[in-house]
Amino acid sequence: MPPASESVEAVSVPVLPLASGVGEVLRLPPVKPALDDPCAPLRALLQQYMTPEEVARVREAYELALAAHGEQTRRSGEPYIHHPVAVACILAELQLDIFTVQAALLHDVIEDCGISKEGLGERFGPEVAEMVDGVSKLGQVRFETREEAQAENFRKMFLAMSRDIRVVLIKLADRLHNMRTMGVMTPEKRRRISRETLDIYAPIAQRLGIHAIRIELEELAFSHLYPKRWHTLNEAVKAARGNRKEAVQKIEQALLDRLHQEGFEAQVSGREKHVYSIYSKMQKKGMAFSSILDLHAFRVIVADVDTCYRVLGIIHSLYRPIPGRFKDYIAIPKSNGYQSLHTVLLGPFGHPVEVQIRTEDMHRVAEAGVAAHWLYKTGMNHAHAETQARAWLQRLLELQTQGGDSQEFLESVKLDLFPDEVYVFTPKGKILSLPRGATAVDFAYAVHTDIGNQAVAARVNDMYVPLRSPLSNGDKVDIVTATSAHPQPGWLDVVVTAKARSSVRAYLKTIQREDAETLGRNLLEKALQSLGGNYQQLAAADWQRVLGTFNVQEEGQLLAAVGMGELFPLVVAHKLLPEEDDRGRLAQTARRLGQAVSQLLPSRLNREVAVKKPLLIRGTEGLPVTLARCCRPIPGDPILGFISAGKGVVVHTHDCHNIREWRKRRDRWVDVQWDPDAHGDFPVTIRVVAESARGVLARIATLISDEDSNIDHVDIEPQDGLYTGITFTILAHDRDHLAKIMRSLRSLPMVSRVQRVKN
């Protein structure tokens, strides 16, 4: 979140058209939009790589989208059809196939226009229908919080991706156009969407290798999230651009001249680092802008892989390489399929200069990533990028099958989206890519889940090390297993991969649930016995009757909840027993309940129960009752009761701040009311503001005593020298008695204010 002092007004951000990145690679000429026909820019793009028949089929999808959205408009006031057309244009610049472009045009018709998936399938085929359904949100499901809904929507999108990666390409294009047109939204919504973009969508684009889309998503999100920072850095980059223009031109020309002199044909181009990339480096390394010297990088594109290595030697003979800054992503590609040689040189002006060397084919994959697999009719083989993407999606499926709620799944995905890689070797020489900081435990789970579950030790470079040991580039790792071994809870503190974390959690949950079910069954059997019931005699109908009450799906879940203390066994036992109208039976079981409570709860709590006899709990007679100390309810106050493990029924006033979260847990509510004959002394807190004078405290204490009340505790807090705040904990019979005491206190001439204190 931006600092409070930072403005979040919309800023003018230059859109980075894909034609300057991917389009440049694909040789697409610029397209001028036609104001009278929203489909004209899309048609111009499609005509460059599709047949007239295919363009006509895309036109059918456009016409359906136009009719479906009808008079709908976006918040900016423009017709809604402009949005799906813009999304389709982004994908057409990537030269994606006809089905993807059709799905992009139709991606909102299921969610916003009521058109069925089946109807789309009949008209455009199941491939298009599946993609549109995968992009659509879970519109028919209601969630308690925005975070839960967001997590479940992402879960659905990732699962749809596992069936067809093109789903996420459409979603990325959809998010990109929304980011381009976000200026009309409120500052709060711009911040929320921008944060989501930086946390999820830009990393997905990075993971799939779609460089052009990732760059623009990051720039737009950064400009909306921190507009002042973006503007300041952008101006600084412009100023530096003018100062270093001559140096960039000199290095570019020197590289070209040396390569031509050696007889190599190559394309050499200098590029400027993007603002968000510079900002991230400043944040990560704690550097000032003036300390960042490598604002420019140079790209050399050659004919084949062999030439890449030859050119590397020539460039190293021209400028001295900086030790430790060379990376070979051709021999060991990145997890998203990216391949290139990276080297950092000491330039002619004493500044570091980064040079990337790659082939034309590698450059296409670097810009379009997994989308290069669908480059229309190019006949090119981009199997590596797609294989890596499929492997990542397969890991997501494994995370899904290991259980956990949607938010836990999204947390695991986020962990997996930020891999700063370490490359290690298996005993057989296979290379595995792991996030930096990964341990031997992460390696074990990367090999196979069973290997991780049974790991007991590790050999790294033929030396035994603890499983918690972090791994380094080039390590050879061998895991020692034992069938009797199992995951340890402490592993959750050291693992960094999503697969390892979710596997350990899944195992621990399975073990914990088994133990919890056993304990819950024992507790419930005792509770039923105390009520004269029998666990073995419960019918299936009895279980079905109460499952919905406690928001669980099966008997095992209910028992586990009892065992883990989430549900109180006596309350569950009451619900399980058949309902009877005979109140005499309830009175007879009250004594038994008290005996059961004495066995299940600490003696201190039993003494508290004995003090609070006047409170009547309808339907749960005999349960222990605790008056909350935060709001100190007294007879006459409107009250609410909640089941709490180890405390029984905890009673709060209905306006207590501490019960906000409990209001969502209806299965823990207990219907409570004060008994009309309740009597006794109940602690309650009041605050009196009085003049700072001799004898004031004595006068107030005497009056409280005269009103048939005692003082349990006093706190004195001097204020401004003229007045003193005095907080009393007094004993009151009920709400009327308290009101009488407070009226008497207000009648004293030295008292300025009297109020009851809660929370």
Reading the block at residue 581, the tokens are: 């109208």
| Residue from 112, 148, 294, 542 carrying the catalytic annotation | 112
DSSP at 388: H
Map residue 456 onto helix, strand or coil.
strand
| Sheet containing 682-691: order of strands | 711-718, 723-732, 682-691, 751-756
In the numeric block, the tokens 């009103």 are attached to 707
Q: Which residues contact 201 (CB under 8 A, 6 or more apart)?
A: 171, 172, 175, 217
Q: What is the token pair recorded at 205?
A: 């684009």
Q: What does the alpha-carbon distance between residue 179 and residue 66 come to, in Å, rounded to a whole number?
A: 22
Q: Which residues contact 149 (CB under 8 A, 6 or more apart)?
A: 138, 141, 143
Q: How would you write 459-477 as a 3-class SS string?
A: EECCEEECCCCECCCCCEE
Point out the catalytic residue in the list 24, 111, 328, 608. 111
Cross-strand partners of 114: none
Q: Which residues contact 488 (CB under 8 A, 6 or more apart)?
A: none
**CA 465 to chain CA mean position, Å:** 34
The H-assigned helical ranges of 431-554 are 440-447, 449-453, 498-530, 540-547
Q: Which of 154, 197, 204 is nearest to 177 (CA)?
A: 197
Q: Checking DSSP bridges between strand 267-272 and strand 320-321, what pairing results, if any?
A: unpaired
Helix (H), strand (E) at residue 737: helix 735-746
Signed CA dihedral, 261, 263, 265, 267: sign only: negative
Rg (CA), the chain: 35
Cβ neighbours of residue 29 under 8 Å, at least 6 residues apart? 48
Q: Distance between CA 456 and CA 653 in Å, rounded?
A: 53
Which class for 32: exposed (0-12), middle (13-18), buried (19 or more C-beta within 10 A)? exposed
Q: Strand ranges (DSSP E) for 196-340?
A: 267-272, 296-302, 320-321, 327-328
Residue 691 annotated among the catalytic residues of the structure: no
| Nearest Cα to Cα of residue 210 among 350, 367, 17, 416 | 367
Amino acid at 416: D
Cα–Cα distance, 593 to 606 (Å, whole number): 12
| Cα 29 to Cα 41: distance, rounded to the nearest angstrom | 12
Planar angle of CA 64, 66, 71, nearest 5 degrees: 135
Encoded amino acid at 650, one letter: V
Contacts of 183 (CB under 8 A, 6+ apart): 10
What are 725's two structure tokens?
């705040």
Position 139: which residue type?
Answer: G
- Give the tokens for residue 281: 């480096």
| Residue 355, beta-bridge partner list | 298, 343
Question: Which residues share a beta bridge with 730?
Answer: 684, 711
Buried b (16+ CB within 10 A) or exposed e, 721-754: eebbebebbbbbbbbebbeebbebbeebeebeeb
Phi first, then psi: give them for residue 616, nearest 5 degrees.
-105, 125
Asked about 420 being catalytic, the answer comes back as no
Phi/psi zone of residue 636: left (φ > 0), alpha (ψ -120 to 50 degrees), beta?
A: left
Secondary structure (DSSP) of 405-422: -HHHHHHHHHHHT---EE
User: Catalytic positions, please?
Assistant: 111-112
